Amino acid sequence: MIPTIPRLGLLSLASFLAAQAPAGPVLQVRAREVRVGDGTVIPNGVLVVQDGRIARVGADIPIDERYAFLAHDGVLTAGMIADHSQMGLAGEANEDARSVVPEARILHGFRPAHSAVGKALAAGITAVVIAPTGENLIGGVTAVVKTSGGGVVDGEAHLALSFARAALTAGGSEPGFFFGRAEDPAQTPDGGPEDTESAVSGARYPTSYSGAWRELAARFTDPAGIVAGVARGELPVLIEAWERHEVERATRFSRRFSLRGAVRGAPLAGDEHVLAALRASGLGVILGPFEAGQTHASLAAVAALQQAGVPVAFALTGRENEPEMLRVSAVRAVEAGADPVLVWKALTGDAARLAGVEARIGRLASGLDADFVLWSGDPLDLRSRVEAVYVDGKRAYAREGASR
Amino acid sequence: MQTTAKRLAGRLAAHAALPAALFAISLSSAASAAPAGDKLVIQAGRIVTQAGPDILDGVIVIENGRITAIGPSSEVEKPWDAPVLGGPELTAFPGFVEAQTSDGMDRPNENLDVAPFLDIADSVDPVAYYFEDCLRWGITTVNIQQGNDCVVAGQGMIVRPVGLTIEEMVVRPRFGTKIAVAPKRGKSRATQLQVLRAAFDDLRRYLEELVQKERDERGYAAREALFQGRDLEGEENQGRTMGGTAWKVDGLDLIPRGAIDEKMAPLLEIVEGRRPVFLYCGAAMDVPHALAVARENGFLARTTLLIDPSCWKASDLIAEAGVPVILDGDQMHVRRNPVSGEEEETFVPGVLKEKGIRFALSSQNANTNSLWYQAALAVGKGLTRQEALDAVTKVPAEILGMGPEIGSLETGKLGNVLLLSGDPLRVTTWVERVVIEGREVYDRAKDVRNKHLLEGKQPPGTAAEAAEHDEGGETDEAKDKGDAKDQDEDKK
Amino acid sequence: MIRRLPTGLALGALAVLGASAAAQDAWVIRAETIYTAAGDPIAGGHVRVEKGKIASVGSGPGSGANVLEAAAVTPGMIDLSARIGTTELSVEQSTETAAELSVVEAIDFFSFRWDRELRSGVTAVLVSPYDNDVIGGLAAVVKTGGPPTLEARLVKEAAALRAAIGSQPSAGNRTPRGAPPSSFYFRRPTTRMGVEWVLRKAYWDAIQAAERGEADTDPHVRARHEVLRRTIRGELPVIVDAWATQDIRTAIFLKEEFQIPRLIVDGAAEAWREPELLARAGLGVVLPPHVFTGRTREEAFFAWDCAATVEELGLPLALSAHGARDFGARLDRQAGFAMRGGLPFAAALASVTIHPARMVGVDDRLGSLEVGKDADVLLWNGTPFEATSAVIGVLLNGELVLDPRAAAGQ
């Protein structure tokens, strides 16, 4: 990452306490089915948690009776990850005064005690990516946070860019109906559009796709600050783009500047030309949440992307108060033809990978954070319930009336 | 009760010498044109008769408004005292027939949902630019019906687009009634249909009550009529068994026909199958309802469907019902495929043809007021030349019940003749002269407005009209509106 | 592959074949008449295309395996004012004079409107930014078909500089926040004279900067000045939206003041009004779609013989359909309407093919049927531009994208 900016580590109480305790297994869980996350299902598998991390996962692990043991008549999986949301931000997901704010850190707006965070936990979501909306050309730095204990997995997950219409029309002025004159960046003393946006005039720069391209290209051609880290490939990007031509443009931009990361939006990513462009760019795609009126084409995009080898994850943006929408979106993708194993990866391992935190969360593997969910049955069956959720090895949620 | 038809007939007699034209340029030519009752000889290098092979070097003789002879110049005897119009460079063609329009009315629609007692004659503006334009494009017969924004409209009429008063223009007074199944503004389809069905239910209840009262008290109906100031004479004093093929009210023969409320009489005419109906369908889903209402009330045989282009999807139902249609709007139905997002175009006359449906094209669409252009476009997209020409002449003539009168150039038919500078469907052909019932009513050489449109030269002394912005065949805005209906679903 | 459509059904989206359906790279097209737009029509001739280019044109049947037949053949049509593929987000409104910005990054090649143009015979268009700026930026020539990517579609990136005169660039502009205007510099133009002032100042600045040297200026501004100077040097045409007489005059005065060799007026509904002035200036003219009432934007009156008038002056003439949705108002029909107004057939053909190609400098590749040019070829079922004729087949870059054999089933 960027050397000048210290990484924010895991600050949770759990890990602090775990460090005080003697080394050794603290929790053993046996479940009827343990789903590791790569398609492997271990019948009567055992998960061993130590120091808030996963120590072992397997079928034939003997239970050490000195330590806590839990038998679950259901399914055990890694916690789900919502790969794009404005959870816990109280509406302050975007700095409106300017459209280019690369150094803005979304993490500083995150309130772990927000009610939506608790709801997400109860729905089996153990981590979320919080990101700005697509209303800024460069909206700032995203973060990956846990839904319990206030843990920060990565305070600097991606740089959020936007190729979306919203980035050009935000600020209260539709192009063509300016009240007052937008400043001409070229006429200001230092030539920096960033300094001239509309805090004063009511209109912002840029207002066009061409202007947006020029502005972004200029910043990546001669990168400074956090953009330099992105240009060197140290930090991925999260690019908002909705219409097909916006997505195509985003992929072209990524290739031109050798960026990595994901596109957020892209409901028609299954279009053959869009798909080809995405594949060539190496970007992943963050889709959803799927609304009631979602077109079949965008539901089917999940299957098409996965077949083409493009990593997919799901967003919860706009539905932060209905976190079940994450799982519902995934189930609808399966109904539209996607492979359930791959869809489950999109909710866990691939989501972690697209957020650059696959070494910490997203799978059940030794060394990773012990973030897992006990389900009453198959999590891609909407009749299945969340019985309990563990974050950093601690029970963070248990369903009322559940046996434990 | 004196019917409007009678009144009009009377007034028409008073106007025996009909002034020929309605706008300034034609007044001068009208003076030289033969007065009604006189003779006219039309010469043309080619006559496209629409009733057999073309006649080269032909002659048409018109006497008393009707064609008395047509044939090669060498074979037809020309009256020595008749003025001669035309020349070898011109092509003669029957006047185009506008199957249905609301143009030329000062307001096309009424606030009343059900108003079959109204007469469109009271709304037609004889000096409307539309009628002038009709002559410019060679339309000689126009069926005017109320707009589509109604439930049961007033009574329409067939006119010739020439004359300074409605009496001069009228060809068939009180002709036809528009009924809309597509919802009137502010209504849902359900309320529209409910109002429509209720109109016929009301008629039935009214007639039954009238018969019951007459039975209870003989002479009731006649006395009521007298009380309302209507003196019943002749046929009006006669009762008649209810006609038609649908529901019947027993004992209607007890009621003198003239005693039936004027507000109800036109609807009774519809149910008895004595009045043509132009039944408007704004979407394919309207078609079955339209046909059901027509069947239930016995007027299917007198029905012409006026269809929006999207109704092609109901063409099987239309074919099965055996009714003719008038295409209201563009020939090409354009829509976005909801799955692929691609634009699909369906050539509606092609579908109608394939299903064996008789159809008339109308000039009521986005790009022109001209029927020749509609016919020509249809040829480009696959109709034969004859099918396309028929759809703007013979078929509308038949729909209007005027098949024996107009739509082709034949002995005995009305002398409605166009003299064209070339083939009727060529893009460079102009209407040079128009003859309606033996009278010359249009001469392009004297059409200053046409000169203005063509060359931009404003005729001296003419006031500029209020500017209407009308860019191109369709405005960018209209285009966007059309396209907006099928915007990309990219946001979902 | 032949798709037999039901008689009378022309399902456009189906008829426009996917690339895979017609992946032949050689065709021989035979027609009763070949209109090459480069010389006299050829009766009973052929056009042979190979690997996306025209391999031969001439009389006789030609030789080759994949034969297509039609009543007539013309080059693909070119529309310099199709007004598709962009939105209001194609114009950078934070400045009035975005001369250096190229429209190419603002084109939506996924729009369904491209296919509409393609199946009606328009194979290339000039895409310009919207006219909300006085100088909107660089316009590009693109093909209307092929994969929806810039690489696949682009013919020429900086084909012309787009500007606008008239009410459009000032529409909706106000003084800032209701405060009295303190200076012309700090608001967008609100009138025609404001628009004209901005345009003249842009040129003035560009010329001044060249004399002074531009070492200190912002790179965007340097680029902007250079684009404007290229138009003065005649390396780049300027296409100006101007409908009414006063706006056409303004364009002419600017052309003469700044000695801009290649100036095209787009809209130009009233080009017929002052033919002497037009001829003196030597403008290129792009006309809007035919209007039956003659009335167009800006209260300009578009006489039906306008195209014929411009042609008689010997000026480069191009027609446009403005991306009409209605099939009765597309570019083939516009050529017919122009003929109705007195334009001879050969000139009508040129005004939708070789003239527009020359006006924006793509005639080395497009605009006529000549050996070596792009194989953008139209097949017609009758004499082109007659209302009774239609485009029944389209080859784009030598690929059959509309199959005439489907129409033949009718």
* Residue A24 or residue A235, greater confidence: A235
Using a CB–CB cut-off of 8 Å, the residues of A that contact B are 242-244, 267-268, 291, 293-298
DSSP string spanning C307-367?
HHHHHHTT--EEE--TT-SSGGGSHHHHHHHHHHTT--HHHHHHHTTHHHHHHTT-TTTSS
Q: How far is A315 from chain C (nearest CA, A)?
A: 25
List the single range of A220-224, B273-277, C178-182, C396-400 with lowest mean pLDDT.
Answer: C178-182
Q: What is the pLDDT of residue C183?
A: 37
Instruction: Answer whether C153's CB lies under 8 Å from C146's CB.
Output: yes
Q: How far is A249 from chain C (nearest CA, A)?
A: 7
Question: Is the pLDDT reported for residue A283 higher than 60?
Answer: yes
Task: State the average pLDDT over residues B105-112.
Answer: 89
In whole angstroms, what separates CA B285 from the centre of its chain? 24
Q: A242 and B490 in contact by Cβ < 8 A?
A: yes
Q: What is the pLDDT of residue C176?
A: 57
| Tokens of residue C262, six digits | 């290649």
Q: How far is C327 from chain B (nearest CA, A)?
A: 7
Give yes or no for C14 touching B (CB within 8 A): yes
Give yes or no for C336 touching B (CB within 8 A): yes
Question: Is the pLDDT reported for residue A296 higher than 70?
Answer: yes
Task: State the average pLDDT over residues B106-114.
Answer: 90
Q: For residue A222, list chain C residues with Cβ-Cβ distance below 8 A.
A: none
Between CA B309 and CA B176 the distance in angstroms is 22
C-alpha separations of C261 from A292, A324, C226, C284, C287 in Å: 58, 65, 16, 10, 20
ipTM: 0.89
Question: For chain A, which chains pass the contact test of at least 3 CB pairs under 8 Å?
Answer: B, C
Q: What is the pLDDT of residue C21?
A: 42
User: How many Cα atoms sit within 13 Å of B39 on the Cβ side?
Assistant: 13
Instruction: Answer whether B118's CB lies under 8 Å from B139's CB.
Output: no
Q: What is the pLDDT of residue B460?
A: 59
Give yes or no for B342 touching A (CB within 8 A): no
Q: How far is C42 from chain B (nearest CA, A)?
A: 22
B5-8 long-range contacts (CB < 8 A, ≥24 apart) are B5/B173, B5/B174, B8/B121, B8/B167, B8/B170, B8/B173
Exposed / middle / buried, residue B398 (Cβ in 10 Å: 0-12, 13-18, 19+): buried
Find, among C297, C237, C311, C308, the residue nearest to C269 by Cα.
Answer: C297
Q: Among C119, C299, C326, C401, which would you mutate to test the B interface (most chain B Cβ atoms within 10 Å of its Cβ)?
A: C326
C-alpha separations of B478 from B366, B471, B473, C14, C166 in Å: 10, 10, 10, 26, 21
Question: Is the pLDDT reported for residue B238 higher than 90?
Answer: no
Find, among C90, C274, C85, C272, the residue nearest to C164 by Cα.
Answer: C90
Q: For residue C181, list chain A residues with Cβ-Cβ distance below 8 A.
A: none
User: How many Cα atoms sit within 13 Å of C42 on the Cβ side?
Assistant: 23
Q: Among A298, A299, A329, A332, which would you mutate to test the B interface (most chain B Cβ atoms within 10 Å of its Cβ)?
A: A298
Q: Among A187, A209, A244, A246, which would you mutate to test the C interface (most chain C Cβ atoms within 10 Å of its Cβ)?
A: A209
Going by the DSSP 8-state scheme, the letter that residue C72 receives in this structure is E
Q: Among C88, C91, C93, C113, which would you mutate to test the A interface (most chain A Cβ atoms within 10 Å of its Cβ)?
A: C93
Give the number of residues written for chain A: 404
Between CA C335 and CA C348 the distance in angstroms is 5
Q: C296 and B349 in contact by Cβ < 8 A?
A: no
Going by the DSSP 8-state scheme, the letter that residue A124 receives in this structure is T
Task: State the average pLDDT over residues A268-292.
Answer: 95
DSSP string spanning C191-248?
SHHHHHHHHHHHHHHHHHHHHH--TTS-HHHHHHHHHHHHHHTTSS-EEEEE-SHHHH
- The chain-wide mean pLDDT, for chain A, equals 86
Q: For residue C13, list chain B residues with Cβ-Cβ distance below 8 A.
A: 337, 340, 342-345
Q: What is the pLDDT of residue A219?
A: 95
Q: C94 and A193 in contact by Cβ < 8 A?
A: yes
Instruction: Answer whether B33's CB lies under 8 Å from B49's CB.
Output: no
Instruction: Answer whether B250's CB lies under 8 Å from B211's CB.
Output: yes
Between CA B276 and CA B274 the distance in angstroms is 7
Between CA A62 and CA C269 the distance in angstroms is 89
Instruction: Answer whether C22's CB lies under 8 Å from C400's CB.
Output: yes
DSSP string spanning C88-120?
GGGS-TTSSB-TT-BGGGG--TT-THHHHHHHT
Give yes or no for B492 touching A (CB within 8 A): yes
Strands (E), B393-436: 417-420, 431-436
Task: Read off the pLDDT of residues B432-441 as tens digits, 9 standing for 90 and up.
Answer: 999 999 999 9
pLDDT band for A185, please (50, 70, 90 cuts): very low
Give yes or no for A169 touching C (CB within 8 A): yes
Q: For residue C224, list chain A residues with Cβ-Cβ distance below 8 A.
A: 186
Question: Is the pLDDT reported for residue B29 higher than 80?
Answer: no
Q: Residues near C2 by Cβ (< 8 Å), separated by ≥ 6?
A: C403, C405, C406
Between CA C3 and CA C408 the distance in angstroms is 10
Instruction: Answer whether B210's CB lies under 8 Å from B221's CB.
Output: yes
Question: Which of B343, B354, B488 faces C7 most closely, judged by CB atoms?
Answer: B354
Chain A nearest-CA residue for B490: A243
Between CA A35 and CA A26 the distance in angstroms is 21
Chain C nearest-CA residue for B337: C13
Give yes or no for C340 touching B (CB within 8 A): yes
Q: Residues near A44 by Cβ (< 8 Å), separated by ≥ 6?
A: A30, A31, A32, A59
Q: For residue B488, list chain A residues with Cβ-Cβ distance below 8 A.
A: 243-244
| Tokens of residue A226, six digits | 């956090």
Chain C nearest-CA residue for A184: C95
pLDDT band for A402, please (50, 70, 90 cuts): low
Q: For residue A288, list chain B residues with Cβ-Cβ distance below 8 A.
A: none
Between CA A226 and CA C108 the distance in angstroms is 31
C-alpha separations of A364 from A18, A151, A373, B458 in Å: 19, 18, 11, 85
Instruction: Answer whether C239's CB lies under 8 Å from C161's CB.
Output: yes
pLDDT band for B237, please (50, 70, 90 cuts): confident
Question: For chain B, which chains pass the contact test of at least 3 CB pairs under 8 Å?
Answer: A, C
Chain B nearest-CA residue for C385: B427
Q: Residues near A399 by Cβ (< 8 Å), separated by ≥ 6?
A: A122, A385, A386, A387, A388
Give yes or no for A203 touching C (CB within 8 A): yes
Parallel, antiparallel, or unpaired for β A237-241 and A159-162? Answer: parallel
In whole angstroms, what separates CA A238 from the centre of its chain? 9
Q: What is the pLDDT of residue B461?
A: 55
Task: State the average pLDDT over residues A168-196.
Answer: 41
At residue B256, φ and ψ (nearest 5 deg) are -60, 130
Question: Is the pLDDT reported for residue A9 higher than 60?
Answer: no
Between CA C162 and CA C129 the distance in angstroms is 7
Give the number of residues written for chain C: 410
Question: Is the pLDDT reported for residue A18 higher than 50?
Answer: no
Q: Among C94, C128, C151, which would you mutate to test the A interface (most chain A Cβ atoms within 10 Å of its Cβ)?
A: C94
C-alpha separations of B85 from B92, B433, B435 in Å: 11, 9, 9
Between CA C330 and CA B366 the distance in angstroms is 12
Q: How far is B285 from chain C (nearest CA, A)?
A: 20
Question: Which of B350, B368, B455 faces C10 most closely, judged by CB atoms?
Answer: B350
| Tokens of residue C265, six digits | 């007026």
- The chain-wide mean pLDDT, for chain B, equals 87
Q: How far is C127 from chain B (nearest CA, A)?
A: 15
Q: A242 and B489 in contact by Cβ < 8 A?
A: no
Chain B nearest-CA residue for A266: B490
pLDDT band for B459, please (50, 70, 90 cuts): low
Q: B490 and A268 in contact by Cβ < 8 A?
A: yes
Q: What is the pLDDT of residue B64?
A: 94
Question: Which of A169, A174, A206 faces C94 most closely, judged by CB atoms?
Answer: A206
> Coil, helix or strand for B345?
strand
Q: For residue C385, list chain B residues with Cβ-Cβ distance below 8 A.
A: 427
| Tokens of residue A277, six digits | 């462009």
Question: Is the pLDDT reported for residue B375 higher than 60?
Answer: yes
Q: B343 and C13 in contact by Cβ < 8 A?
A: yes
Chain A nearest-CA residue for C179: A180
Question: Is the pLDDT reported for residue B424 higher than 90?
Answer: yes
Using a CB–CB cut-off of 8 Å, the residues of C that contact A are 88-96, 98, 101-111, 129-130, 132, 137, 147-150, 171-177, 186-188, 218-221, 224
Instruction: Answer whether B224's CB lies under 8 Å from B264's CB.
Output: no
C-alpha separations of C219 from A186, A224, B129, C123, C236 in Å: 8, 18, 58, 36, 20
Q: How far is B492 from chain A (nearest CA, A)?
A: 6
Question: Which of A179, A203, A273 faces C147 most closely, judged by CB atoms?
Answer: A273
Task: Read off the pLDDT of residues A225-277 as tens digits, 9 standing for 90 and up.
Answer: 999 999 999 999 999 999 999 999 999 999 999 999 999 999 999 999 999 99
Q: What is the pLDDT of residue B368?
A: 67
Q: C289 and B334 in contact by Cβ < 8 A?
A: no
Q: A180 and C176 in contact by Cβ < 8 A?
A: yes
Q: What is the pLDDT of residue C241?
A: 96
Q: B488 and C410 in contact by Cβ < 8 A?
A: no
Low-confidence ranges of chain C (pLDDT < 70): 1-24, 172, 174-187, 407-410
Question: Which of A243, A291, A293 faces B490 most closely, judged by CB atoms?
Answer: A243
Task: Read off the pLDDT of residues B140-162 as tens digits, 9 standing for 90 and up.
Answer: 999 999 999 999 999 999 999 99
Task: Read off the pLDDT of residues B186-226 as tens digits, 9 standing for 90 and up.
Answer: 999 999 999 999 999 999 999 999 999 999 998 898 888 88
Task: State the average pLDDT over residues A330-337.
Answer: 96
> Which residue is associated with the tokens 């050798």?
A258
